[in-house]
């Protein structure tokens, strides 16, 4: 398996096995993934190290569930014990972070490669240096360093010429853009947004936009004119974009459909989960009245999700064992032409978005055979707010 495949499994395994695995088994896997994410934090504090060690302790308390399920297998069948060197190594993570700082992405690839190039190769290429191997190794490293300093005019070009000797031109990755310099800023200035200057669908009618995206309740005249502002509209057409980019300040990949949206209720800011369905901007009619200021900004049509697990004082709580928020697709009381409830939607400013999030369906004991990669956000009703989707989100939702 590639590193990317391991990463994909790491992001989704907890939510996928929920409903099929026992609660104890689920807690074991969740604790292990939590430990990996916590260990990968680029900055640590005394509190984060305590949390790291508590998570590892939870794993060790519950790990017998893996043996009882019989899923740790070898060539001769299930193992009856836990003897894994890497698990033993994890016991020293907290102490190592205190002494040397954050570890390098929970990987031994770098140190293993250095062991090969700086120890095994010199030993195998030389004579029998068992008696003076340390001196021989030191001389080898000094010679290699002197060669690098005095004979390589450009170390980067030299390295590329060895790795890709047939390549005539090497192109680097795309330069990261700072959207905070010229982009649209959110209301709290913690997120920046960017849309192309030219819309993907310039000046289409409201009805055409609704038909193209299958939004049966997309009636801007009704949604806004009957809202809090209550002003009559002076437009019939809109500009439409297919995507926008969002950039955040790091807590320690911006292609998305589900997002966290900030709203104000009773003078308090609350976060809701929503799915972006359309990015648009009204177009004023020629010779008509100028649009109100709030219609000149980029708008989003979103469909909402509701948190299902709440405690006292209507506080949103995580689901037990899995420690994720469970959300349910929100429906309106209006029926469509086929007699099915329509999904609840609303129109909000682009700057109300605070974060891109990942949703993963609540599969339950068995997975619906209809589900595919393309419809996994359309058919299910319940979803987990997957804080393992990326490390920034993991830190945000803690």
pLDDT at 64 over 80: yes
In tens, the pLDDT along 7-54 reads 888 889 999 999 889 999 999 999 999 998 888 877 788 888 899 999
d(CA 378, CA 372): 10
The helix or strand, by DSSP H or E, that contains position 44, with its residue range, turns out to be none
Assess contact for 355 and 259: CB atoms under 8 A: yes
pLDDT confidence band for 172 (50 / 70 / 90): very low
- Half-sphere CA count of 311, side-chain side, radius 13 A: 7
pLDDT at 162 over 60: no
Report the first-to-last Cα separation within the chain, whole angstroms: 30
pTM higher than 0.75: no
Assess contact for 345 and 277: CB atoms under 8 A: yes
In tens, the pLDDT along 266-296 reads 778 888 999 998 899 888 877 666 777 778 8
């Amino acid at each position: 398996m590639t590193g990317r495949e391991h990463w994909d499994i790491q992001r989704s395994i907890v939510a996928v096995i929920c409903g099929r695995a026992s609660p104890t088994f689920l807690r074991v896997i969740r604790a292990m993934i939590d430990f990996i994410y916590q260990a990968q934090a680029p900055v640590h504090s005394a509190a984060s190290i305590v949390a790291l060690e508590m998570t590892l302790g939870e794993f060790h308390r519950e790990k017998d569930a893996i043996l009882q399920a019989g899923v740790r297998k070898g060539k001769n069948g299930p193992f009856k014990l836990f003897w894994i060197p890497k698990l033993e190594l994890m016991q020293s993570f907290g102490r190592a972070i205190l002494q040397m700082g954050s570890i390098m992405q929970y990987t031994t690839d770098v140190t293993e490669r250095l062991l090969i190039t700086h120890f095994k190769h010199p030993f195998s290429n030389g004579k029998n240096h068992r008696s003076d191997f340390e001196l021989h190794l030191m001389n080898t490293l000094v010679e290699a360093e002197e060669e690098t300093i005095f004979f390589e005019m450009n170390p980067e070009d030299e390295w590329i010429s060895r790795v890709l000797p047939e390549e005539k031109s090497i192109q680097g990755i795309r330069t990261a853009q700072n959207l905070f310099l010229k982009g649209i800023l959110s209301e709290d200035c913690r997120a920046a947004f960017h849309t192309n200057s030219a819309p993907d669908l310039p000046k289409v009618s409201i009805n055409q936009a609704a038909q193209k995206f299958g939004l049966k309740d997309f009636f801007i005249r009704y949604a806004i004119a009957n809202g809090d502002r209550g002003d009559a509209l002076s437009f019939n057409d809109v500009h439409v974009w297919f995507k926008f980019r969002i950039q955040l300040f790091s807590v320690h990949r911006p292609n998305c459909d589900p997002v966290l949206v900030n709203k104000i209720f009773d003078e308090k800011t609350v976060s809701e989960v929503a799915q972006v369905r359309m990015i648009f901007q009204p177009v004023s009619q020629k010779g008509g009245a100028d649009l109100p200021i709030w219609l000149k900004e980029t708008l989003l049509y979103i469909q909402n999700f509701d948190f299902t697990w709440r405690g006292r004082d209507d506080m949103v709580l995580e689901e037990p064992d899995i420690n994720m928020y469970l959300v349910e697709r929100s429906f309106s009381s209006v029926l469509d032409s086929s007699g099915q409830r329509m999904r609840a939607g609303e129109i909000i400013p682009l700057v109300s978005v605070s974060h891109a999030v990942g949703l993963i369906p609540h599969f339950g004991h068995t997975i619906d055979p209809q589900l595919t990669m393309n419809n996994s956000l359309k058919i299910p009703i319940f979803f987990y707010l997957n804080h393992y989707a990326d490390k920034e989100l993991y830190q945000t939702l803690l």
